[in-house]
């Protein structure tokens, strides 16, 4: 074979190799199993995951149960995703212990597991892309104390007591109140499953049981919206609500003064970093145990600030 033919053969071989590599990249499948799908927060996480899928040229799917109380349904979704033998998987646990048997199967099959939003009580997970929920809730406590003058009765409407986000936000708020504000008393903690209708009923019950109540902390989008809805239905004024997350309904309640303000995460960043971490894991790169995606406090005075507006969503 002369030099020219050798060059042509080499070029053709490289082209085929490049094509094969591209085809392989296109077949990399990374499903994300979310805690829910109904809140705008999860739609924003999905947006970030989809963008990372495009940027890294991998196939990404995103699904979750209709409500954040459907642990069994989420486990079924995780099982179905693993049955498709994905390259890696992203998982936001509703119940941080219930999924461990399935995650052990993923580990045995050498499928990297990346947690997002809510951690898992297991070292099977390579990293977790999340907000520092305790620190974020501590900031919510500081804002609550500021708004009610450092004294009075407050309550918490939590979204659950099985996920790490649910427990960490609850504990971050309560612990900060106990540590820094001796004249503020947390008189009740109730759980609405992140459902705004159920959370609204809880808010009305809290107002009846504690007529001197000065504040309510809602630990996620549905909890905060429900608290605001409950106050409106009870025609109650003078109770400070501090929320969590964003979404049009919550922003509207902040703009009309029903909710004083809220902590926002970076949901698009959470979704993006989850897929990015999965790709890095597949390349054998070392990952930190936590990918901190940040948080901010916002109210109607700073919602238009470019730094804040970038992490809010409708």
Tell me: the pLDDT tens digits for 261-304? 999 999 999 999 999 999 999 999 999 999 999 999 999 999 99
Average pLDDT of the segment spanning 102-112: 97
Distance CA 198, CA 223 (A): 9
Q: What is the mean pLDDT of the chain?
A: 91
Supply the pTM of this predicted model.
0.81
Distance CA 229, CA 251 (A): 13
Q: Which CATH superfamily is domain 3-131+268-293 in?
A: Response regulator (3.40.50.2300)
Tell me: the pLDDT tens digits for 60-71? 999 999 988 899
In this structure, the strands spanning 29-33 and 213-218 are unpaired
Distance CA 48, CA 274 (A): 9
CB 103 within 8 A of CB 124: yes
The CATH classification number of 133-264 equals 3.40.50.2300
Q: 3-state class of 117 per DSSP?
A: coil
Phi and psi, residue 60, nearest 5°: -120, 135
Distance CA 9, CA 15 (A): 10
CB 218 within 8 A of CB 224: yes
Q: From 217, 38, 44, select the one nearest 116 (Cα to Cα).
A: 44
Structure tokens at 239: 């109770």
Phi and psi, residue 191, nearest 5°: -125, 125
Angle, vertex CA 187, rays to CA 184 and CA 188, nearest 5 = 135
Structure tokens at 98: 């219930």
In this prediction, what percent of the chain has a pLDDT beyond 70? 92
Q: From 291, 312, 271, select the one nearest 131 (Cα to Cα).
A: 291
Would you kindly state where each structural domain of the chain is located, as residue ranges?
3-131+268-293, 133-264
Q: From 270, 293, 287, select the one nearest 113 (Cα to Cα).
A: 287
Tell me: the pLDDT tens digits for 142-184? 999 999 999 999 999 999 998 999 999 999 999 999 999 999 9
Q: 3-state class of 154 per DSSP?
A: strand
Distance CA 274, CA 44 (A): 13
Task: Decide if 3-131+268-293 and 133-264 have a common fold.
Answer: yes
């Amino acid at each position: 074979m002369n030099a020219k033919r050798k060059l042509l053969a080499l070029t053709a071989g490289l082209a085929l190799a490049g094509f094969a590599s591209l085809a392989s990249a296109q077949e990399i499948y990374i499903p994300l199993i979310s805690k829910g799908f109904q809140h705008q927060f999860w739609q924003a996480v999905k947006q970030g995951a989809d963008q990372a899928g495009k940027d890294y040229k991998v196939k990404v799917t995103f699904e979750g149960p209709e409500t954040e109380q459907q642990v069994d349904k989420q486990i079924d979704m995780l099982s179905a995703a693993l049955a498709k033998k994905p390259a890696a998987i992203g998982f936001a646990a509703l119940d941080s212990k219930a999924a461990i048997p399935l995650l052990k199967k993923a580990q045995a099959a050498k499928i990297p597991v990346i947690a997002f939003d809510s951690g898992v009580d297991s070292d099977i997970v390579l990293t977790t892309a999340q907000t520092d929920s305790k620190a974020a809730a501590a900031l919510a406590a500081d804002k609550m104390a500021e708004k009610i003058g450092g004294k009075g009765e407050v309550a918490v409407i939590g979204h659950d007591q099985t996920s790490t986000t649910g427990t960490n936000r609850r504990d971050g708020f309560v612990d900060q109140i106990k540590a820094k504000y001796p004249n503020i008393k947390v008189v009740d903690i109730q759980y609405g499953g992140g459902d705004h209708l159920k959370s609204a009923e809880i808010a009305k019950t809290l107002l009846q049981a504690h007529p001197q109540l000065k504040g309510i902390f809602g630990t996620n989008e549905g909890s905060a919206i429900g608290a605001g809805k409950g106050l409106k239905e009870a025609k109650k004024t003078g109770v400070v609500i501090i929320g969590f997350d964003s979404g049009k309904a919550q922003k509207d309640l902040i703009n009309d003064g029903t909710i004083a303000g809220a902590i926002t995460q970076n949901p698009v960043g959470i979704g993006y970093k989850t897929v990015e971490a999965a790709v890095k894991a597949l390349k054998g790169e070392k990952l930190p145990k936590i990918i901190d995606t940040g948080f901010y406090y916002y109210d109607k005075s700073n919602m238009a600030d470019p730094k804040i507006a970038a992490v809010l969503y409708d």
